[in-house]
Amino acid sequence: MTDRIIPNAMTPGPWRKSSYSNSEGGSCVEVLDGHPSGVPVRDSKSPQGPALLIAAASWSSFASAVKAGHFCV
């Protein structure tokens, strides 16, 4: 699957905020579980969109790398 964009990310949820997001309201990433075409990802400060639609396998690899600390600054 090629990554895609969902122009209006107001897709019914529930969207969930990443546990790695900033607790002070900034840098918030939300994902929508159970989408039939992949994993939609959006900025919580702009819920109307757009959202990126990421292939499930790609999202899983990315999430595993984040959890393993590969993107620590």
pLDDT at 53: 92
Q: Which amino acid is at 7?
A: P
**pLDDT, greater one: 43 or 20:** 43
Mean predicted lDDT score pLDDT of the chain: 82
How many Cα neighbours within 13 Å face the side chain of 33?
5
> Which stretch, 12-21, 25-34, 40-49, 59-68, has highest mean pLDDT?
59-68
At residue 53, what are phi and psi to the nearest 5 degrees? -105, 110
Q: Is 60 exceeded by the pLDDT of residue 31?
A: yes
Which parts of 1-73 fold into alpha helices (H)?
Answer: 56-67
Provide the whole-model pTM.
0.74
**pLDDT, greater one: 9 or 51:** 51
CA separation for the pair 42, 9 (Å, rounded): 7
CA separation for the pair 66, 72 (Å, rounded): 8
Q: Which amino acid is at 23?
A: S
